[in-house]
Amino acid sequence: MNYNKIAQTDRQSIKRKFMSVVFILFITAFGFQSSVTSAMTADVGPNDGPVVTSYAEIVSRVSPAVVTIHSEGHVRANEQSLLDDPRLRELFGNRMPQDQEQQSRRRSALGSGVIFSPDGYILTNYHVIDQAEQVKVELTDNRAFDAKVIGADKPSDLAVLKINATGLPVLPLGDSDRMRVGDVVLAVGNPLGIGQTVTSGIISAKGRASGLSEGSFEDFIQTDAAINQGNSGGALVNTAGELIGINSQIVSTTGGSIGIGFAIPSNMAHGIMDQLIKSGRVRRSKLGVGIQPVTSDIAASLGISHVSGAIVSSIESGSPAERAGIRRGDVITALNGSPVTDTNSLRNQVARVEPGTQAIVTVVRDNREQQIRVTVSELVTSEKIAASTEENTARNGGRLGISVEPMTPALAEKLNLDSSVHGLVVTRIDPSGPAADAGLRQGDLIEEIDRKPMNSVSDLTAVIQSAGTKPILLFINREGQTAYRTLRLH
């Protein structure tokens, strides 16, 4: 028997089997790789679509509806002058140059805005147009318009403008509540005045309160899309080209973007915008409770399993909460069925309820959950009180170009005056009014007008109503120094 021939045949058979196994392994590996590649492709991009490599189409639709806003106003130089410091005034012999007292300077602000109606309504930030006497809007096609402020709301940092134009491009409103952390967003605006700029990023967080604006209603969308000065009031849009936020603030250690920007959610902006257009102001509600966060220790001590909600620490006398039976120590966990995560979310939820209507407050008391019906009342902010005071003084002291309030011991101490003095304190002054022309300043005490004592606003009203064409004689007290000033009514 030819053993060499048999061995050769066996070697060839083994080789053929080995190659078959290798081929099968190759095919299997290729199939596995194809499956992985397919799976990876399927996971990338929305709705199992292809990977997005450009946002150019979205930007081309969005950018015409984002505008640049220029605002200008006067700021009295003496309101911010170093010479208002009594120690520095001594260097001038307690005399301030007359031109310094009456000088005013221009205040300019640059921001962005979003067109939301074809007939010229524009949404922007309150701080962009604050104290503005003139507002101009520039479109991307280089047209420019004078704008009228329809309404402004400082607590939300929102304002609505109107320009005289039709057929304008509009940015559709999206549902900010449906946006998720990690969703891609684009920020559009005019940073630092260099021209319209688009930056991209993701939603970094939701429901943020920056704490940068005391007393404001904050429910920010946080994003790492670059936002800088001039972006304020501009658009934050999703990949469908919808407005989901109005860029408002940044947190920065440098003054520029470090990837921590905040936008007002479109759902909040929409509700405020509608109220501003309808009535020029925003109405909010209150429960009349003091609240604080539920910490892990508080939750443990109360036997609550979830560290969320807001614990009632105080109740305002005569408030809706007191009338409804809410007690100190109650933990509010929901309002009208919507969960309360923290104190900020409760504050925003209550504010959105229409004043005078009922709300269902869910509380945990003695380890038992119960629902309490509360008829909320309107929240009266310091801004509304100030507006009411201004309206009153506008009727009485408006012809002088000033706002005043009666002297009190607290004001006397603040102004370094003897507590026995009486009169009207100038709280605000119009730089272009008669009082400013006469050299009056904020903080001056008007003791007499035409030799008549000024102890109330009604005293001022009577003098102004009886004033003719002759100059009015004022006796003023400024930091203990008294003098006569004359002025003519405009």
Identify the active-site residue in 204, 232, 257, 403: 232
What is the rounded distance in angstroms from the CA atom of residue 482 to the CA atom of residue 127? 38
Structure tokens, 220: 């920010």
Would you call 175 a catalytic residue per the annotation? no
Q: Are 144 and 136 in contact (CB under 8 A)?
A: yes
Q: Which long-range contacts (CB under 8 A, 24 or more apart) does 251-254 make?
A: 251/210, 251/212
Q: Are 391 and 383 in contact (CB under 8 A)?
A: no
**Alpha carbon distances (Å) from 366 to 73, 308, 327:** 56, 16, 11
Strand 310-315 and strand 424-429: pairing?
unpaired
DSSP letter string, 58-78 = HHHHHGGGEEEEEEEEEEEHH
Strand ranges inside 376-443, DSSP E: 377-378, 402-406, 424-429
Identify the active-site residue in 70, 153, 157, 430: 157
Strand ranges inside 21-91, DSSP E: 66-76
Number of residues that make up the chain: 490
Residues 281, 219, 129, 63, CA torsion sign: negative
Angle at 183 between CA 181 and CA 184, to 5 degrees: 135
Angle at 301 between CA 297 and CA 306, to 5 degrees: 65
Helical packing angle, 382-397 and 457-466, nearest 10°? 30
Identify the active-site residue in 63, 71, 127, 330: 127
- Side-chain-side CA neighbours of 369 within 13 Å: the count stands at 12
What is the rounded distance in angstroms from the CA atom of residue 341 to the CA atom of residue 25? 55
Would you call 127 a catalytic residue per the annotation? yes
Cβ neighbours of residue 68 closer than 8 Å, sequence gap 6 or more: 110, 111, 112, 113, 137, 138, 190, 193, 196
Structure tokens, 450: 């035409």
**Alpha carbon distances (Å) from 313 to 18, 75, 290, 293:** 80, 42, 5, 10
Structure tokens, 381: 């902010």
Strand 452-453 and strand 472-478: pairing?
unpaired
For residue 131, the cross-strand partners are: none
Would you call 232 a catalytic residue per the annotation? yes
Strand 358-365 and strand 368-375: pairing?
antiparallel
Catalytic residue positions? Answer: 127, 157, 232
